[in-house]
Structures are given as C-alpha cells and as structure tokens.
Amino acid sequence: IAKKFEYAFPKLILFTIVVEFGGWSKAQKEHFSIGGTFYQISKR
C-alpha cells in the first residue's frame, strides 16, 4: 500500500536523538528539565 500512494506524500527525513541531540540524557536535561527549552516555552 505504501508504494501505491507514495506519490501523495512528501518524503520524510528521519533523524535520531543520538545524532541530533547527543542522546536521551542530554536531550532531557537541555530541553525538558526545569529551565530547559520546553519549560521556558511553556511558561509564556
């Protein structure tokens, strides 16, 4: 089915947490802990 309808959807570029963010521990600390990116955005 995927081949039949692949024309209808853009090709996705996938990435990994390790490559883009340095692993789950680093991503958690930088983006989701108190003071992290997500925390700062959600305070607004």
pLDDT digits (tens, 9 = 90+) for 1-44: 889 999 999 999 999 999 999 999 999 999 999 999 998 999 87
Number of domains within the chain: 1
pTM of the model: 0.57
Residue 26 covered by a domain: yes
Q: 11 in helix, strand or coil?
A: coil
Is the separation of the CB atoms in 29 and 36 below 8 Å?
yes
Kindly state the tokens that stand for 31: 């983006």
Residue 11 covered by a domain: no
Q: Which of 8, 7, 10, 26 is nearest to 18 (CA)?
A: 26
Residue 27 covered by a domain: yes
Residue 10 covered by a domain: no
Inter-CA distances, 6 with 12, 14, 15, Å: 11, 16, 20
For residue 40, the enclosing domain spans: 16-44
Residue 40 covered by a domain: yes
Residue reference for tokens 């883009």: 20
